[in-house]
Amino acid sequence: MKTTPGGRKLPHIVVVGAGFGGLNFVQQMPPNLARITIIDRQNHHVFQPLLYQVAAAGLSAVDIAQPVRAIFGSRPNLEVLMAEVTELDLANRRVVHARGELIYDYLVIAAGGHTSYFGHDEWAEFAPGLKSLDDALTIRRKILTSFECAETEPDETRRREMMTIVVIGGGPTGVELAGTFAELTHRALRKDFDHIDPRKTRILLIEGSPRLLAAFPPDLSASAERQLKTLGVEIRTGTRVEAIRDGEVVAGGETIRARNIVWGAGVAASPLTKQLGVELDRGGRAKVLPDCSVPGHPEVFAIGDAMSLVDAKGVTVPGVAQGAIQTGRHVAKLIVRELRGEKFSPAGRQAFAYFDKGSIATIGRSRAVGQFGKVHISGFAAWVAWLAVHITFLIGFRNKLSVLLQWTFSYFTFKRGARVITGVAGGPPANAA
Amino acid sequence: MKTTPGGRKLPHIVVVGAGFGGLNFVQQMPPNLARITIIDRQNHHVFQPLLYQVAAAGLSAVDIAQPVRAIFGSRPNLEVLMAEVTELDLANRRVVHARGELIYDYLVIAAGGHTSYFGHDEWAEFAPGLKSLDDALTIRRKILTSFECAETEPDETRRREMMTIVVIGGGPTGVELAGTFAELTHRALRKDFDHIDPRKTRILLIEGSPRLLAAFPPDLSASAERQLKTLGVEIRTGTRVEAIRDGEVVAGGETIRARNIVWGAGVAASPLTKQLGVELDRGGRAKVLPDCSVPGHPEVFAIGDAMSLVDAKGVTVPGVAQGAIQTGRHVAKLIVRELRGEKFSPAGRQAFAYFDKGSIATIGRSRAVGQFGKVHISGFAAWVAWLAVHITFLIGFRNKLSVLLQWTFSYFTFKRGARVITGVAGGPPANAA
């Protein structure tokens, strides 16, 4: 047990969510100024930018996850709670969760995003999204199992369906998934089977808008498209998905039969934002004031993917890790100033300003595109930059070493140590993928 | 795809099970003498002696598992099939599985063991066993989740139940589980919580016979008992389990309330042995002839945990990894001789003789007991021997390195990197463990 000297007398801050926003908020807070409770429905922080590697069996789940309790170790005045938040009662400064309730002085909503099917929730069953470790393990299990089934499938048409992967969404997640699935099937699995040739796996990437990576400049979109084509990925831009059924995607008027459909398209805020009683944007994000506080509640903040804000410089804060990290730190600084006795009206609080550090999207082994201000890079140089950034940011000593080891190993051998299927007692069902 | 020159004309050997027995059989066979199909309901081989480490969050699942396809790489004349065997039709030399059937010239049953509740299958729901990765992940999830629930549980009695772990069975599995749970709760989780003190976790080890590790000499049983007590484990030998219900074990007339009950007691052969049409022992193992073949079927062998045999020297072949490894190699040698043209009657085949290399049981960090012939060791020396043996035997380069890294890390820090709970979307249920 941790000692919490005099902790009960300190103001109480409740943080909902242990993603990049919540963690960076806490890390920015001095430990003796407030009592903090961080609540998450999972017991671990996930390094989301590498989730696609778990889905494609390149990394194992624990390589990119760290128990929240382990991250904060013996930090005083901090409690970690694994529970789902069920109600936000702003009038009474109360957070209700599955096994009790918390009374706060400050509330920070850092609940992140979840997969959005643009009003077609019935698609979720057939096209899993990629927001949690369990999502990633589900996708991995489905893909590896469908190759096992293809190996014994006598019917050519059915076999083709089992060996077709459709990735929906041409943003960074979709591009990363398509690229890494291409490497998994065309390289790592190449020699594993007797009756099928995994190199013949068909991988389609479907994007509704005219180009991939719409948030990047057009020259990098074009480069990403070229690099994916080199890996054998079929690209359909300007193609809207009309329907998804069991083993079938209808897009741009065409029906594509595929046993593996992965949804990398939409992200919406956690439904918790609906309980804040403020205006939401189309993605369900709470429209916050320039200081990231919720209108009418200067003691409640929403950060990261939970909020929608055009910042002081007129930039829409993007729904990426840096947006969550920077808003988390910003709110911590505001609260520190208030707790240290500075008095100012909410309108007098410092407005948040997003600092664009650049963006990188990776496209498999030694391929990527990156933008740093006016500098555009692509190919191997961008990939090295991506590798450096991600290893630096990974939380936890063990994970850094283990990820580095695994990457080095798979770089030189193209074997994938994480290619283990769990959660299917008794093997795949008869003639099903 | 692998090239299989002329493979279709070779005799066909079907191996059921990719555990120690099945793998060692295949590794002993020269690649160009027969066509081999190895069939398992999982896609991976599990290094069973370390399963308890996965259950206690000391290692992650992929550290001790290797995809069967990856183990054999591009070996010719070998097919791997992930499917559950549903029928053995010896009269027609046919193996039926979930997605088709195989015709064999030789059949090797290496289907291993599964958890046996001694006729009380209704206990399985409340006291999971430890035979697969999924079992280990289930036990880990239950224990870690019950600590999360205890942290917010206001009722003292219920909190005590959540912080009680009962391990049933005082054989090597039970001793290893109890020891490593003691270290997990008393050391690794020590500083993680605010409202509970994990050092106060009660761990009970229940064994029906008068002493722990009945297969070891009495002085080592006594040493194991002393070492476990040092770790804070309560030991009840000579205590029969009478009933297991939800959150409750009745043993030796006493009712013990516990949210975590783990079954490490019984192992029986896979139910497939029933289809061999021969006499079985009490554990469901097929009574085989001295050469490990099934009576009446010289082309069918049962090895490892699937068979029961008193060997040429009068020793009952034990149901341990070495038993499976040695019988697998023995049968491979017999088949090689026959395929190379040596003619002899089944009765003329060489009888199997077990070579006892000694046994080690570990009791947590730097504690163990071991027997090598007349040499008995215990404590740190036994633990070092155990470590050396297990790292040497681990299959696959990556795993060796990764396990070594993780052990070194957890040895020096007592942190457990694998302490991640997957498979519980939405966190633990209200007031339940």
Amino acid at A398: R
pLDDT for B4: 46
pLDDT in tens, B285-327: 999 999 999 999 999 999 999 999 999 889 899 988 899 999 9
Q: ∠B28-B29-B30 over CA atoms, to 5°?
A: 115
Nearest-by-Cβ selection for A100 from B81, B152, B197: B152
Residues in B 277-336 with any Cβ partner in A closer than 8 A: none
Q: How far apart are CA A293 and CA A313, in angstroms?
A: 18
Asked whether residue B59 is assigned to any structural domain, the reply reads no
Inter-chain contact B196–A1, Cβ cutoff 8 Å? yes
- Name B389's Cβ contacts closer than 8 Å, sequence gap at least 6: B360
> Of B240, B264, B288, which marks where a domain is finished?
B264
Q: B406 pLDDT band (50/70/90 cuts)?
A: low
Residues of chain A found within 8 Å of residue B406, distances taken between Cβ atoms: 398, 402
Based on the fold, state whether residues A106 and A26 are members of the same structural domain: yes
B positions 22-41 inside 8 Å of A (CB) = 40-41
| Residue B119 φ then ψ, to 5° | 85, 0
Last residue of a domain, one of A266, A294, A322: A266
Pair B220, B293 in one domain: no
Q: Would the pLDDT of B418 be above 60?
A: yes
Hey, what are A407's tokens? Answer: 């990457």
Task: Report which residue type is found at A214.
Answer: A
Whether residue B357 is contained in a domain is answered as: no
d(CA B34, CA B19): 20
pLDDT band at B59 (very low <50, low <70, confident <90, very high): confident
Q: What pLDDT score does A426 carry? A: 37
> Same domain, yes or no, for B189 and B90?
no
User: A207 is in which domain, residue-wise?
Assistant: 119-266
pLDDT of residue A342: 81
Q: Report, as an integer, the average pLDDT of B388-395.
A: 71
Q: How many domains does chain A have?
A: 2
Chain A residues near residue B70 by CB distance under 8 angstroms: 192, 415-417, 419
Neighbours of A421 (CB within 10 A): 23
Work out the pLDDT band at B390, boundaries 50, 70, 90: confident
pLDDT at residue A432, rounded to an integer = 31
Chunked mean pLDDT (size 10), chain A, 433 residues: 56 96 94 95 89 86 83 87 95 95 97 91 94 92 93 94 97 94 87 89 97 94 96 96 96 96 91 95 94 96 96 90 94 95 76 91 87 90 83 60 60 59 49 30
- pLDDT the model gives residue B171: 93
Q: Which of the 8 DSSP states describes residue A13?
A: E
Q: Verify that B230 and B311 share a domain, yes or no.
A: no
Q: Is the pLDDT of residue B400 over 70?
A: no
Strand partners, B249: B244, B256
Are B132 and B46 within 8 A, CB to CB? Answer: yes
Q: pLDDT (tens digit, 9 = 90+) per residue, B254-288? A: 999 999 999 998 889 999 999 999 999 989 999 99
A-to-B residue pairs, Cβ atoms closer than 8 angstroms: 194
Report the C-alpha gap between B30 and B28 in whole angstroms: 7
**Sheet strands (E) in B174-291:** 202-206, 233-236, 241-245, 248-251, 254-257, 260-263, 266-269, 286-287
HEC states along B40-95?
A: ECCCEEECHHHHHHHHCCCCCHHHHEEEHHHHHCCCCCEEEEECCEEEEEHHHCEE
**Confidence class for position B31, pLDDT limits 50, 70, 90:** very high
| Chain B residues whose beta carbon lies within 8 Å of the beta carbon of residue A397 | 409
Q: Is the model's pLDDT at B1 over the cut of 50?
A: no
- A172-183 vs A218-230: helix axis angle to the nearest 10? 20
Which ipTM did the prediction report? 0.80
CATH number at residue B20: 3.50.50.60
Task: Write the DSSP string, A365-430.
Answer: TT-EEEEETTEEEETHHHHHHHHHHHHHH--SHHHHHHHHHHHHHHHHH---TT----S-TT-SPT
Q: What is the pLDDT of residues B71-130, one digit of tens each?
A: 887 789 999 999 999 999 999 999 999 889 999 999 999 999 889 998 899 999 999 999
Mutate which of B43, B72, B79 to test chain A, going by most A C-beta atoms within 10 A? B43
Output the average pLDDT for chain B.
88
Q: Which of B348, B367, B401 is the last residue of a domain?
A: B348
| Residue B415 scores a pLDDT above 90 | no
Q: Are A95 and A104 in contact (CB under 8 A)?
A: yes
